Chains A and B, each alone.
Chain A
């Protein structure tokens, strides 16, 4: 890599971001294949197409910040620092899973990395995020919590209650709506009174904005100042990110409710391709580099899958563990 980089960003930063996004996509593809091979069951919601969002947001955070999400959270958990082996083992229902096989696809947790789940009730995580914001304020810390939700969760009453409390009490919660256009199979416009979900903040006098979620640099550039401001003066913020999932709602959804043209339109603005082009244009990497990295990531995932395959099933005796804390 002799060429002089033509970008304001650090070369290693861009390289690691790109690799992380590719890793996220390849991971989800691997998950899909494993599901199709019958290695695990249950619901399984993939993040493919939305990689720029979680990587872009995470790069604006620091490790002591908290994160909570809904049911589409494998790659968010990995971005937050969690070991992909623990995430995949969890999907396989194995003892090396991040919650020892008690959670599955929708319930990734890590106390160490302050990832508070992985929640399967649409919108249920939003007041919990307000509670974490409350605790941060109670303890007079300058951390924040990122609360991911989808366009579907935007119509849950609990979300409005959470927004009201967060605004009333100035809680440092960054609500991020990953608007991938569909709540399961329903175009959000068909069931929502506003055309832009950021407007949900207006009723609560909450600062808000929108950003293109198909472009890492746009997300990263946008979120950084928001977080910095929240740290200085705690108050909530509502960010709508426009993104798109290439796959169906879950692995069993053929997504017949949308046209192939629509999918192709978004794929034309693929966040990984976009960043790859930027890397090549700014001489950070060559096409060969990108191919090599892709190959390395695939090999790495083969190892991770072998690890998850080999991980033992939880012992039946663990069934009763953790119903209650001591």
Chain B
């Protein structure tokens, strides 16, 4: 097992898939000569040349649409959004075109495309650069949404995403690109739609993904010191959601806290909460509690920003609430 960074896991996944299939190409702002704004495409231009790795103009709607068209006639584009805050300029192409094409063409034109890039807040970037779009993206039928938390999951899931015959949204995080984790030397794939128990426990289930997974793990550690055994569940894929894994965990622990960087209103966590109250009603000993970002545009000042985002302390408080302690 090699210890590699999150960004290296992304680059490895893309390089392996580009070597495996010459229909795969990468396009985005600064992905080629600059090696990626966050170096997630480092070395790909050298390895594959200019016909496979394309620096795009700053035209998210334009190159998202270009990817859709190329995918309709047989290529397998990877479209990098430098950040999903820019990516929403391409929402028309993603939502109206990529996600609908297979259905409205009666299955004649599928769109095998990956839209990937960092999602959610980084640090002190202000309102327009600190947003989590999970809920908007998972709300659209016709596309899959992946939001991994470790280099291992990232590599295995990105390879699956590139091989998938449908639009796949791949949500990364600026704050995690430097995160290191163990990744096996050989090739492996992680199936889309399968969650993972990152820490087993008995008293409460904490669901979290992407960088919130690490917040949840820190909270679980704090909880262990006061005798609470928390199970941390990482869905890894948000659309489709591994509901059976979630239900079986909640049926075991009887309590659920969801940590979600998105704003609380109509959030992904709200969807999970809804499914759990429906399917696990008689197994719940407390209402599901969600820990989300506060419903406010992200402020710049460090202490204010800290107050908006979910923290391990807020997760611990939420767990105490569902356990009826302290």
A66 touches B73 (CB 8 A): yes
B106 touches A131 (CB 8 A): no
User: Scoring A residues 148 to 165 as 1 if CB is less than 8 Å from chain B, else 0, what string do you get?
Assistant: 000000000110011011
Cα–Cα, bound, A49→B231 (Å):
67
A164 touches B65 (CB 8 A): no
Q: Which residues of chain A come closer than 8 Å to B108, judged between CB atoms?
A: 99, 109-111
Q: Is B49 an interface residue (CB 8 A)?
A: no
Q: Is B61 an interface residue (CB 8 A)?
A: yes
Cα–Cα, bound, A218→B144 (Å):
48
A323 touches B142 (CB 8 A): yes
A158 touches B102 (CB 8 A): no
User: Scoring A residues 103 to 146 as 1 if CB is less than 8 Å from chain B, else 0, what string do you get?
Assistant: 10001011100001111110010111111111110110000000
**Partner among A66, A131, A322 whose Cβ is within 8 Å of the Cβ of B68:** A131
Q: Is B184 an interface residue (CB 8 A)?
A: no
Q: Is B297 an interface residue (CB 8 A)?
A: no
Q: Which residues of chain A come closer than 8 Å to B110, judged between CB atoms?
A: 324-325
* Least Cβ–Cβ distance between B192 and chain A, in angstroms: 11
Q: Is B300 an interface residue (CB 8 A)?
A: no
B103 touches A322 (CB 8 A): yes
Q: Is A261 an interface residue (CB 8 A)?
A: no
Q: Is B138 an interface residue (CB 8 A)?
A: no
Q: Which residues of chain B come closer than 8 Å to A102, judged between CB atoms?
A: 103-106
The count of residues in chain B whose C-beta lies closer than 8 Å to any C-beta of chain A is 41
Q: Which residues of chain A come closer than 8 Å to B96, judged between CB atoms?
A: 120-121, 124
B102 touches A131 (CB 8 A): no
Cα–Cα, bound, A98→B109 (Å):
12
B105 touches A129 (CB 8 A): no
Q: Is B299 an interface residue (CB 8 A)?
A: no
**Partner among B51, B62, B67, B77 whose Cβ is within 8 Å of the Cβ of A162:** B62
Within 8 A of A (CB), among B50-96: 51, 56-57, 59, 61-75, 77, 92-93, 96
B104 touches A129 (CB 8 A): no
**Partner among B63, B67, B93, B106 whose Cβ is within 8 Å of the Cβ of A322:** B106
**Partner among A98, A120, A164, A168 whose Cβ is within 8 Å of the Cβ of B106:** A98
A161 touches B62 (CB 8 A): yes
Which partner residue on chain B sits nearest A106 by CB separation? B104
Q: Which residues of chain A come closer than 8 Å to B106, judged between CB atoms?
A: 97-100, 102-103, 109, 322
Q: Which residues of chain A come closer than 8 Å to B101, judged between CB atoms?
A: 117
B166 touches A324 (CB 8 A): yes
Q: Given that A107-B105, A130-B69 are known contacts, is A323 also in contact with B97, CB under 8 Å in the complex?
A: no
Within 8 A of B (CB), among A47-73: 66, 68
A165 touches B63 (CB 8 A): yes
A162 touches B65 (CB 8 A): yes
Which partner residue on chain B sits nearest A130 by CB separation? B66
B105 touches A323 (CB 8 A): no
Cα–Cα, bound, A66→B70 (Å):
12
**Partner among B65, B71, B141, B165 whose Cβ is within 8 Å of the Cβ of A130:** B65
* Chain A residues packing against B (C-beta within 8 Å): 66, 68, 97-100, 102-103, 107, 109-111, 116-121, 124, 126-136, 138-139, 157-158, 161-162, 164-165, 168, 321-326
Q: Offer 5 A-B interface pairs, CB within 8 angstroms, sorted by A.
A: A111-B105, A120-B96, A128-B97, A131-B68, A323-B102
Per CB-CB distance, the 9 closest pairs between chain A and chain B, nearest first, are A131-B69, A127-B65, A161-B62, A99-B106, A325-B110, A128-B69, A161-B59, A322-B107, A109-B105
* Chain B residues packing against A (C-beta within 8 Å): 25, 51, 56-57, 59, 61-75, 77, 92-93, 96-97, 101-110, 112, 141-142, 144, 165-166
